[in-house]
Amino acid sequence: MKKQASRSSDALCFCEYDNIKGERSHLMATLCDCDVIDSLCDSCLRCQPVPEEKLIQAVETIEDRIRLPFCNGRGAIKMNFELAYPAITLPFTLCLAAYGPYWTFFSLLSFFTVLIISSRLCRYRKRNRLFFATTLSSSIYLFAVFIVVVVGFRKILLWEILLMATLYLITLYLMFQVKHNSNLLRVDRKNYRNPEKLSSDGRQLNVRQVSWIDSRPIIDDNLQLFCGQCKVDRPPRSGHCTRCDCCIFGRDHHCIWLDVCIGKHNHRSFFLFLFMFFTTGVYGVHLTTTTLCTPVIYLDWFLVPADCRFLYTDFPSGLCVCSVVLSCIGLSFILCLLVQQFVLISQNLTSQEYHRARQRGWLKCWGLLALHNSNDKGFLKNWYNFLRNKRTQRYKVAVATDEDV
């Protein structure tokens, strides 16, 4: 079934491929000759600890063997598990969940369980696009269910459909803005530091001199003003992201659901994206529930679902119900993140600075407010500065000094 890579220059059959060992293999041998997985299963059956190296090799082997036949002369193409899993399994999960409430519970529970396990198996990677693919796939599928199934009941007005579509397109545009705007520190030659001189020319500040909240890390009672990975001086409010493997200007946090670092240049777009995502989801849930259930009208305008006895009567209604359940799960997480961002922005505080304040015990009011925040200019001023459009400004890295901080 296998031949050495000496034939790698020849045209491959649509079921052949060159594996990670450089050997030619065939799709028929997918379940054959796998010492790594055999050893992994043997360790599990014997209740023996599994080394992380063996687990990584097993994941890489499985990903290498999941391929699709393709007639392009290059053989079977490799499927990206991180992108393929939510795109393939989510529609099947929704279809299974449409058969009843128990199916809904166990199908969604199984989907998220496998999602968490998969993310744990892929944790050795710096960039994991599994959650971003889940976010994008779920939003597309839920919107498709709304357009194809919910609208098909013919109980929604045209302006409501157009409003829902407009909100969804705005949400996608804001997602693109968050992904597109770069927060990387732009490094000049004069700010680049020779790593050989770092030991004699290191930039540090004793923690006793730091009487304010600073986003930069404190190691051995010293505030680190220099990034050893990027070889640049860290300006205030910046931070190094281990997933992006670079320094981020005005770093707030790394959002795994969008697979992007949130910083100064996309923080505003990120908050607007959360707000529009939540608004679109709530409006979609409202339209769906008032379509499935008999609504009651209040003030001659607002519809509230009242009689929901006929759920799961057929496949379309069951599909709409499980879509509402999945939407509510996602909206609950979005709401928590919105509240967190609202509290931090109201204080002109980043998530990274909040983490440093918690480490130093500088929190009050059940952890909602931070002490020694030199950037806090008041509620209205903080929101005014945050909502101003500053994305077009270029940041030039300056050598950090005591006056900078």
pLDDT digits (tens, 9 = 90+) for 129-188: 888 989 999 999 999 999 999 999 888 999 999 999 999 999 999 999 998 876 666 544
Residue 303: both structure tokens together: 């519809």
Model confidence at 22: pLDDT above 70: no
Nearest to 101 by CA among 321, 285, 403, 299: 321
Question: In sequence order, what DSSP letters do the residues of 5-25 get, joined into one string?
Answer: GGGTTSPBPTTEEE-TTS-EE
Q: CB pairs under 8 A, 24+ apart, for 90-98?
A: 90/134, 90/137, 90/138, 90/141, 91/141, 94/141, 94/145, 94/319, 94/322, 94/323, 94/326, 95/319, 97/318, 97/319, 97/322, 97/325, 98/312, 98/315, 98/318, 98/319, 98/321, 98/322
Cα–Cα distance list, 14 to 1, 69, 77 (Å): 15, 5, 9
pLDDT digits (tens, 9 = 90+) for 239-271: 888 888 888 888 888 998 998 999 888 899 999
- How much is the average pLDDT of 342-352? 90
Is the Cβ–Cβ distance between 93 and 110 less than 8 Å?
Answer: yes
Instruction: State how far the Cα of 31 lies from the Cα of 65, in Å rounded to an integer.
Output: 9
**What's this model's pTM, rounded to 2 decimal places?**
0.79
Q: Is 238 exposed, middle or buried (0-12, 13-18, 19+ CB in 10 A)?
A: buried
- Is the pLDDT at 398 greater than 60? The verdict is no
Per-residue model confidence as pLDDT tens digits over 187-224: 444 444 544 343 334 466 676 777 677 777 777 777 77
- Mean pLDDT along residues 40-64: 69
- Determine what percent of the chain is predicted with pLDDT higher than 90: 26
Q: Are 250 and 350 in contact (CB under 8 A)?
A: yes
pLDDT computed for residue 171 by the predictor: 96
Highest-pLDDT range among 91-100, 124-133, 276-285: 276-285
Triad 306, 332, 274: Cα angle to 5°: 115
Question: Span 33-61, mean pLDDT?
Answer: 68
Residue 200 three-state SS? coil
Whether 284 contacts 255, CB under 8 Å:
no
User: Residue 174 has what pLDDT?
Assistant: 95
CA-to-CA distance for 343 and 373, rounded, in angstroms? 14
Residue 342 reports pLDDT greater than 90:
yes
Q: Is 233 helix (H, G, I), strand (E, B) or coil?
A: strand
What was the pLDDT predicted at 151?
92
What's residue 24's pLDDT?
63
Amino acid identity for residue 170 in this structure: I
Q: Which two tokens stand for residue 192?
A: 């680049």
389 three-state secondary structure: coil
Which comes out higher in pLDDT, residue 163 or 54?
163
Cα–Cα distance for residue pair 57/317, rounded to 1 Å: 44
**Average pLDDT in the chain:** 77
Interval 357-378 mean pLDDT:
83
- Between 185 and 348, name the one with better pLDDT: 348
Alpha helices in 256-295 (DSSP H): 267-292
Q: Taking a C-beta distance cutoff of 8 angstroms, is the pair 128, 82 a contact?
A: yes
